Chains A and B, each alone.
Chain A
Amino acid sequence: MNLALYKAMMKSHSKLLITYSCSVFLYLYLLVMTFPMFAESQQLNDVLKGLPESVQVAFGIQGNLSNVNDYMAMNFYNSLYLYILMAYAILTAIQLVSRFVDRGSMAYLLSSPVSRVQVINTQAMVLITGLFVVNLFTYFGGYLGVLSFTDKNGFDMSIFTQMNLIVMLIFLVISAYSFLFSCLFNEEKLAMGASFGITILFYSLDLASKLSEEIDWLKYFTIFSLYQPQKISQGDYNVLSTSMILSIVAIVLFILSASLFKRRDLTL
């Protein structure tokens, strides 16, 4: 980790980070504003309940719209937020290494006395910081929304925190394997293709496993099956051990990235 590099990277990354953070903050905050309206509308709840069970499971809408935790999970965490984080995690991971190698500016970073491993670790820290900040803004957006627009009675802070933590750690792993590709490929396009390809594959496997009982074993092959806001809210999700496993996987992937990058021939 090199402080000068970290500061410079954070500075040039800041515009993107601020855009993402403000967007998720505002979106979730305003989403909660619409909660009281829906909570009172029994009609919509009935429509949702009328959908086939498997569709409800697949799209994470089997919850209760009159609970604000479920409301946020269904309307944001289970949909738009996943796509936003996918885009942010992958694009940032690719930008931080692969783009520098592809465009040649890595030559400058590596011509300094900062070692390859230190450069990569610094870039990884920038990625982790960014992911943390986006998640933090989401967390506060939701929390402030609840404080401003609801009567707080149905809101469970601890479950909301756990849900945010698990989402962040899942995306930490997604960032980490994208970062690994970023460190391995010479071409930005290739690294990006691999990262998006695998992530979308994981996502489809998760959807498929939920839609049909017969292929529900697919859930063992996708990271998204760990993301179950319903289970978290019902309290039968092992938050502690899942967080530990996700963190360890992410750390291993980051270490692997640095050590493979160190051994590579770079055409700079």
Chain B
Amino acid sequence: MIEVNNLTKEFSNKKGLFDVDFKVEKGQIFGYLGPNGAGKSTTIRHLLGYVKPQKGQAKINGFDCWSESEKIHGQLGYIPGEIAFVEGMSAVDFLNLMSGMRGTKSNEKRNELIARFDLDIKTPVRKMSKGMKQKLAIISAFMHDPEVIILDEPSSGLDPLMQREFVDLLHEEKKKGKTILISSHIFSELEDTADIIAIIRHGKLIKTQDVHTLREEMAKNIYEVEFQNQEDVHSLMNSDLAISNHEGNKATISVDRDVNEIFKYLSRYKIKKFDVPKQRLEDIFMKYYNDKEEHL
């Protein structure tokens, strides 16, 4: 479990984090969304114990991230935002080093991951492509089967196939009851994985949204219907259908009952065009990115 309470860190340039508050439960994937420079990596540095909070606290599994980080790190998998491996090592040397420092006994999961992500571990890190480095980072973050997984923009550089594989891996880990935090500045990276999405801007959390309820809400769809004759819209208005909007020969009908009933009613009229506008999750979140801009 990850807990961040009133976390505040102000840098000399007035940027930083201000009263950031959130919680990630076991078996949950927390999507941490925000534009460049919002403070995602700064929050994660607190979780890793690299920086000391000015105010507030970050805790993982009940331990303080700054003062008790050694107790946390045995059960922690981490992918840094800017991946820099130890220089002059091959991938296998690097993985051995991490296993050694963690005291990992079994190589079973590691070999499984290497096969799954199809990585040639003999390659010196220096000669790896961006995607290969990303795979190596993923393997090193998951190979010791950690309870808590923190990923700072993990899927940049992966091709769509590997991205798919990675999303699958996240779902498997989630099912096993892991606590997962993923940061990203693009919504689509989180869309398939996150249970909760929190949006951060200028160091402040501006919205925390449960993705599942959001999806349910959005599932209550609307139909946009364009009729041949404008009079039909008027007669529709007199019916008990829920018309949320109308203009000329177009009407927007909320789907508030059995779909068949609505169709039975509509079948009386000559219809020119019928549309189920798809509201995309991304648009909703985009709104927050932009909305706040105007307020500032």
- Residues of chain A touching chain B, judged by Cβ–Cβ distance below 8 Å, are 2-5, 7-8, 11-12, 99-100, 103-105, 107-115, 263, 265-268
Contact = CB atoms under 8 A, between A and B. Distances in A.
B87 A112 contact: no
Interface residues of B, number: 32
B281 interface: no
A105 B93 contact: no
18 contacts: A3-B100, A4-B99, A8-B97, A11-B93, A12-B87, A12-B89, A99-B87, A103-B84, A104-B82, A104-B83, A104-B84, A105-B85, A108-B84, A108-B85, A112-B102, A113-B103, A115-B69, A265-B52
Given A4-B100, A8-B93, A115-B70, A110 B51 contact: no
Residue picked from B50, B82, B99, most chain A C-beta under 10 Å = B50
Interface stretch (B72-80, B158-166, B171-179, B198-206): B72-80
A267 B86 CA distance: 17
Residue picked from B51, B78, B96, B101, most chain A C-beta under 10 Å = B101
A7 B89 CA distance: 12
Nearest to A16: B88
A113 B78 CA distance: 12
A107 B140 CA distance: 13
A-B pairs with lowest CB-CB distance, top 3: A4-B100, A104-B84, A112-B101
B48 A110 contact: yes
Q: Chain A at the B interface: mostly helix, strand, loop or mixed?
A: helix
Given A105-B87, A108-B98, 17 more contacts: A2-B100, A7-B100, A8-B89, A8-B96, A8-B100, A12-B86, A105-B84, A105-B86, A109-B101, A111-B48, A111-B73, A113-B74, A113-B102, A115-B69, A263-B52, A265-B51, A266-B50
Contact of A5 (B49, B89, B101): B101
Given A8-B93, A265-B52, A267-B50, A107 B84 contact: yes
Contacts of A2: 100-101
A14 to B, nearest CB: 10
A7 B100 CA distance: 10
Nearest to B97: A8
A103 B86 CA distance: 9
A100 B80 CA distance: 14
B70 to A, nearest CB: 5
Contacts of B26: none
A5 B85 CA distance: 14
Contact of B101 (A113, A263, A268): A113
Interface string B81-120: 0111111110001001111111100000000000000000
A121 to B, nearest CB: 14
A263 B52 CA distance: 8
Contacts of B45: 266-268
Given A107-B48, A112-B73, A113-B73, A4 B80 contact: no
A232 to B, nearest CB: 39
Contacts of A266: 45, 50-51
A108 B103 contact: no
Contacts of B102: 112-113
B42 to A, nearest CB: 9
Contacts of B88: 12
A68 B87 CA distance: 43
